[in-house]
Amino acid sequence: MPPQNILTPQSEDFPAWYQDVVARAEMADNGPVRGTMVIRPWGYAIWERMQAELDRRIKDTGAVNAYFPLFIPESYLHKEAKHVEGFSPELAVVTHGGGKELEEPVVVRPTSETIINAYFSKWVQSYRELPLLINQWANVVRWELRPRLFLRTTEFLWQEGHTAHVSEGDAGAYAIRILQSVYADFMRSVMAVPVLVGRKTAKERFAGATTTWTCEGMMRDGKALQMATSHELGQNFAKAFDITFADAEGRQSYVWQTSWGASTRMIGALIMAHGDDNGLRLPPDLAPIQVVVLVVRDEPEVVAEANRLAAELAAVSVRVQIDDRTSTSFGRRAVDWEVKGVPVRLELGPRDVAAGTATLVTRHDGAKVSVPLSEAAARARAALEGVGARLAEEAEAMRLSRTREVASVEEGREAAEGGFAVMGLDVLGADGESALNSSGVTVRCVQRRDGGLPGRDDPDTELVAVVAKAY
């Protein structure tokens, strides 16, 4: 095990580095049941900021929040054959409650299409009730065989949206709106992760969907991570749950539907897309603390200046904390904040105060400069500006440097050992996906050659498949 406060280098063992960061940044612990996790305050504070940013964007699309039960009658899942087939290996089923065997087993929700659609069938009668746009923030359970904190856990937190529309076109447009204006915008502008957006293949799409759209990010080891998905469900669930509406002429029709979700996996993406050998590097928008004022010695004049700086920063809405735990060594505290990824540190000791200066340290690039005390708060605030853009530029440069266009499935398999491979869909052919899967490589998404979303009628010659190894 590495010495305390020393992380395994990424180049030596990336999975071990990831586990070290999660532990040493105090983000999460393994729960008592295999595959569960305890999210610690630092990790949960990041999740709260993600929630707030996503929730605002979701509401901007017209969706409203609701809540549905954790327990779902097992019979509900059997109403949509592909859905139950896709989820059956992951289900947690309760057979006893209150000391008695239940008349019907209940499933701990793996996702809520079935229970929400059971209620949509009660709520929708007329085209006047459509579109019906519902989102919920909840936990779900999928029995995970190979758990990894934040990335794959038996229980995780997420949001899941479920909608019903008058037409297929309306549903498809809304699914893409969620993909682009909610997920991709949040990931690019707030998380600073330059995700690819595209369509999943039939083999990779959500069980019960007609089309699955995805956001795929490259992590610093060259592997892909699916960060959010938006699904067109067609009328599959509408027919299974008899969700019909009367149109303006009184004719009965089935609704067209979508579902979409993003989870605490995004925290794992944040770690792996930006973290370095010293720990997290957080974009300021998601940092629970944006500036820490680190007191070297708790002498009165130092503490007074630290309080003044913190008050000045707080007055302009910077999230700031004073660290005056001088019973712990200065070096240990500096390393702790480095691992946690706080974007800016102001270091202040007696000599600094006497000289009228402070040391400003920026986490993303490791730069360290002496600044006048009278300007320290303003300089710290200014240092936060543009950090997200620089992290995004670095992540984009890494992705481009590790993306290779290939002319065959075999070349794609080789390129996917260290990054993304791009091949024409006509090159992938009918059997190429299965051949890649046998080597642990998957098609992450299908795009137009210019990176745009594929249309329903685009020929294979105009489309490309992005393939990679993935988490």
The answer, yes or no, to whether the previous bond of 459 is cis (omega within 30 of 0) is no
Condensed to tens digits (0 to 9), the pLDDT of residues 373-397 reads: 999 999 999 999 999 999 999 999 9
What is the structure's pLDDT at 208? 87
Spatial separation of the C-alpha atoms in residues 180 and 450, rounded to whole Å:
16
Condensed to tens digits (0 to 9), the pLDDT of residues 47-86 reads: 999 999 999 999 999 999 999 999 999 999 888 777 767 7
Question: Which domains are delineated in the chain?
Answer: 14-274 (3.30.930.10), 289-385 (3.40.50.800), 403-468 (3.30.110)
Q: CB under 8 Å to 177, separation ≥6 — which residues?
A: 61
What is the structure's pLDDT at 1? 35
Of 182, 226, 186, residue with least CA distance to 206:
226
Condensed to tens digits (0 to 9), the pLDDT of residues 134-162 reads: 999 999 999 988 999 999 999 999 999 99
Condensed to tens digits (0 to 9), the pLDDT of residues 264-317 reads: 999 999 999 999 999 999 999 999 999 999 999 999 999 999 999 999 999 999
Residue with structure tokens 């969706």? 63
Per-residue pLDDT, averaged over 421-438, amounts to: 95
pLDDT surpassing 90 at residue 87: no
Q: Is the Cβ–Cβ distance between 274 and 246 less than 8 Å? A: no
When pLDDT is cut at 50, 70 and 90, the band that residue 2 belongs to is very low
Beta bridge partners of 256: 165
DSSP 8-class letter at 178 = I
What is the structure's pLDDT at 339? 98
Per-residue pLDDT, averaged over 152-173, amounts to: 97
Model's pTM, two decimal places?
Answer: 0.95
pLDDT surpassing 50 at residue 3: no
Structure-block tokens of residue 42: 């630092």
What is the structure's pLDDT at 169? 97
Q: Which long-range contacts (CB under 8 A, 24 or more apart) does 18-26 make?
A: 18/148, 18/268, 18/271, 18/272, 18/275, 19/149, 21/271, 21/275, 21/279, 21/280, 21/339, 22/149, 22/150, 22/271, 24/279, 24/339, 25/279, 25/280, 25/339, 25/340, 25/341, 26/340
Structure-block tokens of residue 468: 């990679």
What is the structure's pLDDT at 137? 98
Condensed to tens digits (0 to 9), the pLDDT of residues 332-353 reads: 999 999 999 999 999 999 999 9
pLDDT surpassing 70 at residue 4: no
